[in-house]
Amino acid sequence: MTPDDAAANAENAGVMRVRDLPPGAADALLASHGLQLHRVDDDAPIPGSYWGEPEAGVIANNVYVRSDTPVHSMLHEACHLIVLPPEQRAQVHTDATDSVIEEDATCCLQIILAGELPGVGRARLMADMDAWGYTYRLGSTQAWFEQDAEDARMFLRGLGLPHR
């Protein structure tokens, strides 16, 4: 499945978008981790977007979204920055990492942080991740999170980040 196929499927599946969040909720969550959320106009390109619109973008401590950006994408890109040391964050532009453990930790943390966003929660985020096309060897995001993410949790714990 290509990113375009996943995006088309997810749009039809009703994936939660940034526009669906309560005002200020995402800003406060990201700020609590030293990040700033920037909203760009709906017809504008998203700075630092690896996959292209409507996927979130990252540049240093900044996360860029449009109203049609999926919540899971915003959280995923933010979590890429959260798992990096501050000196590495400052160097990020578009592509945060090529580390497998950092990618796994990012996926784990985005699920955990979804529980802190009103109206989202872990179950909804995992369903959206599956609808979008995330793939795991156990077949679903929930199975991976519950049964196969211990290495990601250990990595997060080592960074002093939420891991349960």
Range of the domain at 14: 3-157
Structure token pair of residue 161: 């980040």
Does any domain span residue 162?
Answer: no
Number of H helices, E strands in the chain: 8, 3
The β-bridge relationship of strands 57-59 and 62-65 is antiparallel
pLDDT tens sequence across 127-142: 999 999 998 989 999 9
Report the number of distinct structural domains present in the chain. Answer: 1
pLDDT tens sequence across 62-73: 999 999 999 999
Does any domain span residue 164?
Answer: no
Does any domain span residue 163?
Answer: no
pLDDT at 97: 82
Does any domain span residue 72?
Answer: yes
Nearest of 105, 127, 107, 123 to residue 115 by alpha carbon: 123
Q: What is the pTM of this model?
A: 0.92
Q: For the chain, which residues score pLDDT lower than 50?
A: 1, 10, 12
pLDDT at 65: 98
pLDDT at 4: 56
